[in-house]
Chains A and B, each alone.
Chain A
Amino acid sequence: MEDLAQAAIDAALDVGATFADVRIENTVTTIIEITDGVSKDSLASRLKGAGIRAFIDGAWAFAQTTDLTTGGMRETGESVGKLALATKTKVAEKFEMEGPVFKDRVRFKVKVPFADVTFEEKMAYVKMINDQARSFDKRIVNTRTVYGDLWTERYTANSFGTSVWMENSLPRVISVSTAKDGSSRQRSFKSFGIRGGFEVYSLERPQNLGEESARNAIDLLSSVAAKGGTYDVIVDPVLNGVMVHEAFGHACEADNWPAHTTVLEDKLGKMVGPGHLNLSDDPTMEGQRGTYEFDWEGTKTKKRLLVKGGILRELLHTLETASRLGMEPNGAGRAQSFMFEPLPRMSNTMMEPGDWDVDELMQDMGTGMLLCNFNYGYTEPSKGQFMFQASHGYLIENGEIGQMVRDVSLAGQILDILPKIDAVAKDFEMEAGTCRKDGQMVPDNSGGPHARIRQVPVGGM
Chain B
Amino acid sequence: MESQLLDLAESAIKKAEALGAEQAEVYIGSSKSFSIDVQNNAIKSARNKRDAGCGIRSVIGKGIGFAYVTTLQDEDISEAAEKSVRLARSSIEDPDFESLPRSGGRYPTVSGLFDEKINQLSSEEAASLILRAVDATKNELSEMKMAIEARLIASSDFRAIVNSLGIAGSARGTTLWLYTYPTVKEGTDQTSSYEFQLTRNLSEIDPEWIGYTSAHNAIGNLGGKIIKSDDLPVILAPLAVGTIIGQGFAGAVNAEEVQYGRSYIADAIGEEIASDKLEIVDDGLLPGGLGTRAFDCEGVSSQRTEVLVEGVLKGLLHNSYTANKEHVENTANASRPSYAGTPSISSSNFVISEGKGSLDDLVEETERGIICRNTGDRPNMTTGDLSAMVMEGLYFENGEIQHSLKNTLIGINMRDVLLRATRIGGDTRSIGSVIAPSIVIESAKITSG
CA distance A406 to B387 in the complex (A): 11
Q: Which residue of A lies closest to B446 (CB)?
A: A228
B273 an interface residue at 8 Å Cβ cutoff? no
- Considering the chains assembled together, what is the distance between the CA atoms of A362 and B409 in angstroms? 26
Q: A43 and B92 in contact (CB under 8 A), knowing A92-B42, A185-B264, A460-B447?
A: no
Taking a contact as CB atoms under 8 Å apart, the answer to whether B411 and A91 are in contact is no
Contact A62 B48 (CB under 8 A): yes
Q: How far is the CA of A374 from the CA of B71 in the complex (A)?
A: 37
Please report the C-alpha to C-alpha distance between residue A319 and residue B388 in the assembled complex, in whole angstroms: 37
Contact A185 B383 (CB under 8 A): yes
* Cα–Cα, bound, A61→B36 (Å): 9
A34 CB within 8 Å of chain B: yes
Contact partner, A36, options B67, B260, B412, Cβ 8 Å: B260
Q: Is the CB of A43 within 8 A of B70?
A: no
What is the CA–CA distance of A87 and B261 in the complex, to the nearest angstrom? 52
B24-56 residues with Cβ-Cβ distance < 8 A to A are 36, 39-53
- Confirm or deny: A163 has a beta carbon within 8 angstroms of a beta carbon on chain B: no
Known: A34-B92, A261-B192. A228 touches B447 (CB 8 A): yes
B53, B92, B221, B410 pick with most chain A CB within 10 angstroms: B92
- The CB with the most chain A CB atoms within 10 A, among B46, B52, B260, is that of B46
**Binding stretch for chain B, among A154-162, A294-302, A377-385:** A377-385
B280 at the interface (CB under 8 A from A): no
A409 at the A/B interface (Cβ < 8 Å)?
A: yes
Contacts of B80 in A (CB 8 A): 44, 46
Residues of A within 8 A of B352 (CB): none
**A385 touching B76 by the CB < 8 A rule?**
no
A409/B389 contact (C-beta < 8 A), A59-B45, A86-B46 known: yes
Closest beta carbon of chain B to A79's beta carbon, Å: 7
Whether the pair A35, B63 counts as a contact (CB closer than 8 A) is: no
Q: Is the CB of A63 within 8 A of B84?
A: no
A37, A127, A461: which contacts B445 (Cβ < 8 A)? A461
Interface centre among A43, A225, A228, A258, by most chain B C-beta atoms within 10 angstroms, is A43
Given the known A-B contacts A45-B340, A64-B50, are A258 and B39 also in contact in the complex, defined by CB atoms under 8 Å? yes
Q: Contact between A228 and B123 (Cβ–Cβ < 8 Å)?
A: no
| Contact (A185, B266) CB under 8 Å given A64-B49, A412-B407, A458-B447 | yes
In the complex, which residues 155-200 of chain A have their Cβ closer than 8 Å to any Cβ of chain B?
A: 178, 180, 185-187
CB <8 Å contact, A93 and B93: no
Interface assignment of A407: CB less than 8 Å from any CB of chain B: yes
CB closest residue in chain A, given B43: A90
Give the contacts of B59-114 with A (CB-CB under 8 A).
63-71, 73, 76, 79-80, 83-84, 86-88, 90-96
Q: Which of A100-154 contact B (CB under 8 A)?
A: 118-120, 123, 127, 141-142
Flag if A187 contacts B382 (CB, 8 Å): yes
Cα distance A437–B316 when bound, in Å?
32
Q: Is the CB of A44 within 8 A of B63?
A: no
Question: Given the known A-B contacts A38-B94, A44-B66, A93-B40, are A380 and B192 also in contact in the complex, defined by CB atoms under 8 Å?
Answer: yes
Which of A45, A83, A384 has the most CB atoms of chain B within a 10 A radius of its CB? Answer: A45
Once the chains are docked, how many angstroms separate the CA of A72 from the CA of B377? 43
A contact residues around B41 at 8 Å (CB): 92
Asked whether B353 is an interface residue with its Cβ less than 8 Å from the other chain, the reply is no
CB distance from B196 to the nearest CB of A (A): 14
B115 at the interface (CB under 8 A from A): no
Distance from A411 Cβ to chain B, minimum over Cβ atoms (Å)? 5
Contact residues of B between 378 and 437, Cβ < 8 Å to A: 380-383, 385, 387-389, 391, 406-413
**Complex contact B42–A93 (CB within 8 A):** yes
* Mask of A440-461 contacts with B, CB within 8 angstroms, 1/0: 0000000000000001111111
Q: Which residues of B contact A383 (CB under 8 A)?
A: 190-192, 221, 391
Establish whether residues A382 and B191, one from each chain, have CB atoms under 8 Å apart when the complex forms.
Answer: yes
> What number of A-B contacts does a CB cutoff of 8 Å give?
253
| Residues of B contacting A11 in the complex (Cβ-Cβ under 8 angstroms) | none
A387 in contact with B377 given A46-B70, A185-B383 (CB within 8 Å): yes
Q: CA A62 – CA B376 in complex, angstroms? A: 29
- Closest-by-CB residue of A relative to B344 is A41
Q: Report how far A93 CA is from B409 CA in the complex, Å.
A: 39
Contact B123 A141 (CB under 8 A): no
A42 touching B64 in the complex, CB below 8 Å, given contacts A61-B47, A411-B389: yes
Which chain B residues border A43 with CB–CB below 8 Å?
65-68, 87, 341-342
Q: Determine whether the beta carbon of A42 is less than 8 Å from that of B95.
A: no
**Which parts of B319-355 form the interface with A (CB within 8 Å)?**
340-342
Q: Chain A contact residues (Cβ within 8 angstroms of B): what range? A: 35 or more
- The A contact surface, by secondary structure, is strand
Chain A CB count within 10 A is highest, among B53, B149, B229, B382, for B382
**Of A41, A47, A61, A258, which one neighbours B46 at CB under 8 angstroms?**
A61
Quick one: given A43-B87, A62-B45, A382-B183, are A185 and B261 in contact (CB under 8 Å)?
yes
The smallest beta-carbon distance between B416 and chain A, in angstroms, is 9
Q: Is B187 an interface residue (CB 8 A)?
A: no
Closest beta carbon of chain A to B187's beta carbon, Å: 12
- Chain B residues with CB below 8 A from A339, complex form: 49, 51, 70
Q: Does B205 contact A (CB under 8 A)?
A: no
Most central of A47, A118, A341, A413 by chain B CB within 10 Å: A47
Within the complex, the shortest CB–CB distance from B127 to chain A, in Å, comes to: 6
In this complex, what residue of A is CB-closest to B392?
Answer: A383
Contact of B449 among A87, A142, A230 (CB under 8 A): A230
Residue of A nearest to B264 (CB): A185
CB of A119 within 8 A of CB of B260, answer no
CB of B305, distance to nearest CB on chain A (Å): 24
Name the CB-closest residue of A to B192: A382
Least Cβ–Cβ distance between A263 and chain B, in angstroms: 6
Asked, given contacts A46-B80, A378-B376, whether A457 binds B48 with beta carbons under 8 Å apart, the answer is no
Residue ID in chain B nearest A38 by CB atoms: B94
B171 at the interface (CB under 8 A from A): no
Which A residues, 6 to 63, have Cβ-Cβ distances below 8 Å to chain B? Answer: 32, 34-49, 58-63
Nearest CB in chain B to that of A42: its residue: B87
Which of A38, A42, A461 has most B Cβ within 10 Å? A42
Whether A459 lies near B91 (C-beta < 8 A) is no
Q: How far apart are the CA atoms of A36 and B127 in the complex, in Å?
A: 52
CA distance A62 to B226 in the complex (A): 43
B70–chain A nearest beta-carbon distance, Å:
5
Cβ of A207 within 8 Å of any chain B Cβ, yes or no, is no
Chain A 359-398 residues near chain B, CB threshold 8 A? 375, 378, 380, 382-385, 387, 389
B445 with A460: CB separation less than 8 A = yes
Q: A residues within 8 A CB of B342?
A: 41, 43
A-B contact pairs, 19 of them (CB 8 A): A36-B260, A39-B64, A43-B87, A44-B68, A45-B67, A60-B45, A62-B48, A87-B46, A92-B43, A93-B42, A142-B261, A185-B266, A187-B382, A375-B380, A383-B191, A385-B407, A456-B449, A461-B385, A461-B413
Q: Taking A39-B64, A62-B46, A382-B181 as given, write out 14 further A-B residue pairs in contact, using a Cβ cutoff of 8 Å, ordered by the A residue number.
A: A38-B96, A42-B87, A43-B341, A65-B50, A66-B71, A87-B44, A178-B382, A228-B409, A229-B449, A263-B190, A339-B70, A383-B391, A387-B409, A456-B449
Q: Which 6 A-B pairs have the closest CB atoms?
A: A92-B42, A459-B409, A228-B447, A260-B147, A60-B45, A39-B91
